[in-house]
């Protein structure tokens, strides 16, 4: 069985591109694709999102290598994708991935977001896989969503943040 020990802390995104605007209150997604050799050495990364304020952001791998156990070029993936998906209101449906990709881990967080856009409550409602995903409620509490401007007596918003890790083989040209 392949066990990947990876962390989003290996990736650096430009703060200016991501801090320009709070996270939207409507549905959004973002992903980081890390390409690596069969030995686990990172070759680079790519950041993608449907959030206009963050599109075009660059990323770079700042940590060492990602360890894969057992370490073998035939067992490893040449691309690992970390994805975050936000669904306001109701729980997300199936976390579909593309054919040929292998789901390595999934964590779904139920969030309570106050009218100022701060995450005021969080709990893990789904967890699967064994990838060492480190993003959880502590990290979600640092996120800032768009404020509603509603009076303090208005009800808090609820949403679900899904964190996925999946991999696939690519042929390096």
> What is the C-alpha to C-alpha distance for residues 21 and 86, in angstroms, rounded to an integer?
16
Three-class SS of 112-145: EECCCCEEEEEEEEEEEECCCCCCCHHHHCCCEE
Between the alpha carbon of residue 170 and those of residues 32, 47, 61, 77, 99, the distances in Å are 16, 17, 19, 8, 13
3-state DSSP assignment of residue 53: helix
- Residues 46-79 have pLDDT tens digits of 888 898 766 666 777 766 445 443 333 455 558 8
pLDDT of residue 125: 93
Q: What are the φ and ψ backbone dihedral angles of 55, each rounded to 5 degrees?
A: -65, 145
Buried b (16+ CB within 10 A) or exposed e, 135-165: bebebbeebebeebeeeeeeeebebbbbbbb
Closest CA to 34 of 104, 93, 139: 104
pLDDT of residue 3: 34
pLDDT of residue 169: 77
3-state DSSP assignment of residue 19: helix
- Residues 9-19 have pLDDT tens digits of 444 444 444 45
Q: What is the DSSP letter of 23?
A: B
pLDDT of residue 86: 94
Higher pLDDT, 117 or 94: 117
- Residues 3-54 have pLDDT tens digits of 334 444 444 444 444 455 688 889 999 998 888 777 777 778 888 889 876 6
């Amino acid at each position: 069985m392949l066990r990947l020990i990876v962390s989003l802390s290996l990736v650096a995104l430009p703060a200016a591109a991501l801090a320009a605007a709070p996270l939207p209150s409507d549905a959004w997604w973002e992903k980081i694709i890390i390409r690596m050799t069969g030995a686990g050495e990172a070759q680079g990364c790519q950041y993608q999102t449907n959030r206009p304020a963050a599109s075009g952001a660059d990323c770079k791998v700042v940590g060492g290598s990602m360890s894969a156990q057992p370490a073998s070029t035939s067992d490893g993936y040449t691309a690992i994708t970390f994805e975050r998906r936000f669904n306001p209101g109701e729980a997300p449906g199936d976390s579909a991935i593309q054919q040929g990709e292998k789901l390595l881990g999934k964590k779904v967080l139920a969030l309570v977001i106050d009218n100022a856009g701060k995450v005021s409550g969080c709990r893990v409602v789904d967890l699967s896989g064994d990838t060492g995903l480190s993003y959880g409620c502590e990290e979600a509490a640092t996120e800032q969503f768009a404020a509603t401007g509603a009076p303090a007596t208005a009800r808090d918003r609820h949403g679900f943040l899904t964190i996925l890790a999946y991999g696939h083989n690519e042929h390096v040209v």
